[in-house]
Structure 1
Amino acid sequence: MHFHGTEVRQQALTLLRGGSENAEVARRLNVPLGTISYWKHVDRAKRGEPVATRPSLLCPLCHRRPLDDSAYAYLLGLYLGDGHISHYAKHHVPSLAITLDDGWPGIQDQAETALRAVFPHNATCRVRTKGAHNIKVYFKHLPCLFPQHGPGKKHDRKIALEPWQQEIVDAHPWDFVRGLIHSDGCRITNWTTRLVRGERKRYEYPRYFFTNKSDDIRELFTDTLDKLGITWTHCTRNGNPFNISVARKASVALMDTHIGPKY
């Protein structure tokens, strides 16, 4: 990385204060345009002049920027299932990554659409990993929007929604449930056999599963199902007690209306 000395910076500020355009100063001093813009921004702020904040830096909580609540509820579900926030020193900005299987490209598209709705002024990207893609966005205020972020795995720490998050989930419960199902859930076809007039016949029925090691996240899921009138049960599969099952015909039909199979 190339560092510019104090003398070059002062020359740039003198030109800028004299009315020169950013691009002109960048060419004259052979300094990147972004650096010139940053120096001008800091200089104006120090002198108490009005400084416009880029939309990409505005936080819905800290700066009252409008938030797409429906998209956020869906994104929150994805984050609790398959998301994580990382900090990389070279970027100085945290990143949110939702890791989604390549077997469901439609869900990857939905996740990126949600990111763009929640962060309309920030670029999104997809980073390939084995058998999946990380759907990513960089934003300084990610910990504000996802206060569940913390060290270690989610199932090893307390996960609870803030009051403002609960209000959004209460207003958009299906978006939240869809995000959880799209991350850690599935819709499958189960089968069993029944005796019908002395003859054993195969009987198939659809079923939803949600699997997560966090007791808190499973409770957020089932509390929301309760409010939606969905009947659910705990289910142990292969010795794993971390499953929630929805198998009642009426409940499955309601889930199909709002969620449906992964794609």
Structure 2
Amino acid sequence: MYEPSVREQAVQLMRSGVGTAETARRLGAPRGTVSWWKHQDLAKHGQLPGRKQSTCMHCFGDELNRSAYSYLLGLYLGDGHISHPAQHKVPSLFITCDDKWPGVMNAVESAVRQVFPTLKPCRVRRPGCHNVKVYSKHLTCHFPQHGPGKKHERTIALQPWQQEIVDAHPWEFLRGLIHSDGCRITNWTTRTVGGVEKRYEYPRYFFTNTSTDIVHLFTDTLDAVGVRWKASSPRSTGQINVSVARKACVALMDAHIGPKH
């Protein structure tokens, strides 16, 4: 047992740059004891080695950029997955981005940086696309939907805290889903008016996914923001297509999402 003054003196020495061994020698205390004092002091000030390498609202009570997370959650459910090979100590998050949409890829990387502000994402080249990738021990804390097998082969349901975020930021969630598995296209048709053939164009949004759970999350959120939709399921692919075609609803989607770029 040591007096509090001895412990405080040791902490002050180490804060000034004196090493653990030298501090122990000067104060005549065991090196292990001095190391423990240093550990407790670093923990008290949130400065443990490796602590700044990860942020987690669940493990450390860190602030979470909820708007960016809602967008990233939509991306993860669409084109994301978490990989944790046996030879790697830390799992990695991949969000696959088509090279046709560099603006979307930039938005994805920006969201990753906002959700994980102490980490540095990278882009891994693949044929026709890039994976925006980041490593963290806390990925499954952020995305508890991770599990073995394909998403459409298992139940996908949001945790209450995730649903709360989506309810608060529904358009960001929808934007993430559209940027991953959706698109905005322009259909056209011709009509003869007064003997003159005229071309009419009308935009619409599509979202396609094989998981009925993910489709329901998408349509439930559309309902929440007042967007009308229709769904169809082609027998050949097993995929479910959700379309938004009403003029007012398309205009609302344009105001919050817009086409990929």
TM-score range, shorter chain: 0.7 to 0.9
Q: Does 1:85 align with 2:88?
A: no
Letter in 2 for 1:169: V
| TM-score (norm: length of structure 1) | 0.80
Q: Does 1:190 align with 2:193?
A: no
Is the 2:77–2:177 Cα contact (8 Å) retained in structure 1? yes
CA deviation after TM superposition for structure 1 residue 204, in Å? 1.5
Distance 1:159 1:242, change over 3 A: same
Measured against aligned partners, the alpha-carbon deviations of 1:11-65 in whole angstroms (never above 9, x if no partner) come to xxxx953138xxxxxxxxxxxxxxxxxxx99x94599733333222331112110
Measured against aligned partners, the alpha-carbon deviations of 1:124-146 in whole angstroms (never above 9, x if no partner) come to 10000110000011010100100
* Correspondence for 1:219: 216
Letter in 2 for 1:261: P
Letter in 2 for 1:143: T
CA deviation after TM superposition for structure 1 residue 193, in Å? 3.3
Q: Does 1:97 align with 2:94?
A: yes
* Correspondence for 1:246: 244
Structure 1 range deviating more: 177-186 or 85-94:
85-94
* Correspondence for 1:17: 20
Distance 1:153 1:172, change over 3 A: same
CA deviation after TM superposition for structure 1 residue 208, in Å? 0.3
Measured against aligned partners, the alpha-carbon deviations of 1:70-114 in whole angstroms (never above 9, x if no partner) come to 000000000000000001344300100000100000100000000
Counterparts in 2 of 1:15-94, with a 5 A limit?
16-19=19-22, 44=35, 49-50=40-41, 51=43, 52-53=47-48, 54-94=51-91
Give structure 1 stretches of 5+ with no counterpart: 1-14, 21-39
* Correspondence for 2:7: none
Is the 2:205–2:250 Cα contact (8 Å) retained in structure 1? yes
Q: Does 1:157 align with 2:158?
A: no
User: What is the RMSD computed on CA atoms of the aligned residues?
Assistant: 2.4
| TM-score (norm: length of structure 2) | 0.81
Measured against aligned partners, the alpha-carbon deviations of 1:185-210 in whole angstroms (never above 9, x if no partner) come to 00001123334346554321101000
* Correspondence for 1:110: 107
Distance 1:130 1:204, change over 3 A: same
Aligned mates of 2:99, 2:36 — CA distance in 1: 46
Q: Give identity over the alignment, percent.
A: 62
Aligned mates of 1:130, 1:45 — CA distance in 2: 50
Runs of 4+ in 1 over 6 A off after TM superposition: none
SS in 1 for 2:91: strand
Is the 2:187–2:201 Cα contact (8 Å) retained in structure 1? yes
CA deviation after TM superposition for structure 1 residue 123, in Å? 1.2
SS in 2 for 1:180: helix
SS in 2 for 1:58: coil
**Pairs aligned (count):** 229
* Correspondence for 2:126: 129
Letter in 2 for 1:191: W
Aligned mates of 1:208, 1:45 — CA distance in 2: 59
Distance 1:210 1:45, change over 3 A: farther
Counterpart selection for 2:174 from 177, 184, 194: 177
Letter in 1 for 2:135: Y
Aligned mates of 1:85, 1:169 — CA distance in 2: 21
Aligned mates of 2:69, 2:173 — CA distance in 1: 8
Structure 1 range deviating more: 232-241 or 248-257:
232-241
Give structure 2 stretches of 5+ with no counterpart: 1-17, 24-30
